[in-house]
Amino acid sequence: MKVTEHLENSKKTIFSFEILPPLKGQNIQSIFDNIDSLMEFKPPFIDVTYHREEYVYKELDNGLLKKQVVKKRPGTVGICAAIQNKYHVDAVPHILCGGFTKEDTENFLIDLDFLGIDNVMALRGDAVKTETYFKPEKEGHHYASELVTQIQELNQGVYLDEEIQNTSETDFCVGVAGYPEKHMEAPSLDSDIHFLKKKIANGASYIVTQMFYDNQKYFEFVEKCRAEGITIPIIPGLKPIATKKQLNLLPHRFHVDIPDTLIKEVIKCKDNKEVREVGIEWCVNQSKELQQAGVPILHYYSMGKSDNIHAIAAQIF
Ligand code: FAD
């Protein structure tokens, strides 16, 4: 079933979450262990992130450096298939512009279609760690809006090779990212919303937001989007703080503000066990307020750990 259908069918706020594929070398049990404990909250869908290649430099015997391309967290499609097979809930694979040619994208989507996966989250991806700016593949997409167009074309049976005959149509429901505190590269929130509208015009059916720690930022973002004529669902994304290090890491990595009150509470903590409790309490309060405001769904970023998400969900759902 499509994410949008789950939202339309829900009579109260529902629960969903996002997982990361495990680091290469680990087996799928680590994923199942995380999902198992969250199944009691009946998620109708689970997102699985996609991680593009990285460049690492290995020193050779002669002292020269050899550039190697590695994917540290492969397995997005396999995990999605395993989730649908084992839990009978919809899996939403993330797909990127970065590292994909249009041909790679088409083949990725064909695999998903054959597996009965009919939701996909279309993202641009970030620059690889060794580069300052995002660079698309030579035959790839520059922006998520272009990726959305390719998915919609496949939904109409339009493949890259025009010579293919009797093409079948796919039926993907497409989600895209939105940023209540604007995307880090956008010159302003208005400009970011302008390009968000392009993703919707090209066929996106719902938005999932970047994490935020101040609900007011989400409410204002939704208001601005609605005023700009965006009518599709805007799913709030939440990530509980779990370590002291995240006070610096989250604003740096995701360009989100952490409210002073939360910063002070975290600084007071003796250890990360206490931080985890503070993070859970903050996220429970955020969740309750959003639930009272009538959001159809709360989407949690588990980042590979489910215990704190479980503690939060137990108080909300
Ligand atoms: P876009 O929508 O393409 O926007 C990128 C920037 O370009 C924005 O500043 C936008 O305003 C601007 N822009 C857009 N179109 C144009 C245009 N035509 N001309 C000029 N400027 C334009 N990353 C991963 O690697 N894997 C994941 O699984 C993943 N999952 C995510 C899930 C969510 C819910 C979110 C919020 C983010 C996720 N990301 C993931 C991170 C995401 O890839 C980065 O934030 C990335 O930098 C931007 O992706 P986007 O799809 O929002 O890009």
Model pLDDT for residues 43-84, shown as the tens digit of each residue: 999 999 999 998 888 899 999 999 888 999 999 999 999 999
48, 52, 124, 50: which is closest to 89 by C-alpha?
Answer: 48
Residues 91-109: tens digit of each pLDDT: 999 999 999 999 999 999 9
Give phi and psi for 193, each to the nearest 5. -70, -35
Q: Look up the CATH number of the domain holding residue 164.
A: 3.20.20.220
* Mean pLDDT of the region 247-272: 97
Q: From CA 76, how far away is CA 108, in angstroms rounded? A: 11
Closest ligand 1 atom to 183 CA: 9
Domain count, the chain: 1
Say what percent of the chain tops pLDDT 90.
Answer: 92
Residue 10 structure tokens: 């829900």
**Rounded Cα–Cα distance for residues 92 and 98 (Å):** 18
Place of tokens 């199944």: 39
* pLDDT bracket for residue 165 (50, 70, 90): confident
Q: How far is the CA of 72 from the centre of ligand 1 (A)?
A: 21
What's the mean pLDDT in 175-202?
98
| Average pLDDT score over the chain | 96
Residue 198: pLDDT band with limits 50, 70, 90: very high
Instruction: Give the residue carrying structure tokens 């495990």.
Output: 22
- CA nearest to 95, candidates 27, 24, 47, 135: 47
What is residue 129's predicted lDDT score, i.e. its pLDDT? 83
Which residue reads 């050899």 in tokens? 66
Instruction: For residue 184, give the ligand 1 atom closest to its CA.
Output: 9
pLDDT at 55: 86
pLDDT confidence of residue 166: 87
Which residues sit with their C-beta closer than 6 Å to ligand 1? Answer: 49-50, 52, 94, 96, 123-126, 143-145, 177, 183, 185-186, 191-192, 195, 199, 208, 210, 237
Distances (CA, A) of 1 to 69, 110, 113, 120, 269: 36, 18, 13, 12, 43
Average pLDDT over residues 127-147: 94
Q: Give residue 125 CA to ligand 1 midpoint distance, Å.
A: 6
Closest Cα to residue 301, out of 13, 6, 4, 20?
20
Question: For residue 224, what are its two tokens?
Answer: 């601005």
- Domain range for 174 is 3-316
Sole residue written with tokens 């997409």: 141
206 exposed, middle or buried (CB, 10 Å; 0-12, 13-18, 19+)? buried
Ramachandran class of 41: left when φ > 0, alpha when ψ lies in -120 to 50, beta otherwise: alpha
pLDDT of residue 287: 98
Instruction: Give the DSSP H or E segment for 248.
Output: helix 246-254
127: left (phi over 0), alpha (psi -120 to 50) or beta: beta
> Could you tell me which of 247, 254, 245 has the C-alpha nearest to residue 217?
254
The model carries a pTM of: 0.97
For residue 212, how many other CB atoms are within 10 A of its CB? 23
- Ligand 1 center from residue 231 Cα (angstroms): 20
For the CA of 98, the closest atom of ligand 1 is 25
pLDDT at 304 over 90: no
Q: Are 15 and 317 a contacting pair, CB within 8 Å?
A: yes
Going from the Cα of 123 to the center of ligand 1, the distance in angstroms, rounded, reads 5
DSSP secondary structure, 41-95, as one string: G--SEEEE-----EEEEEE-TTS-EEEEEE-SS--HHHHHHHHHHHH-SEEEEEE
CA dist 191 and 193 (Å) reads 5
Q: What's the average model confidence in pLDDT over 136-165?
A: 96
Tell me the average pLDDT across 297-308. 93
What's the gap in Å between 124 CA and the centre of ligand 1?
5
3-48 pLDDT, tens digit each: 999 999 988 999 999 999 999 999 999 999 999 999 999 999 999 9
Q: Which residue, by CA, sits nearest to atom 47 of ligand 1?
A: 126
* DSSP state letter for 154: H
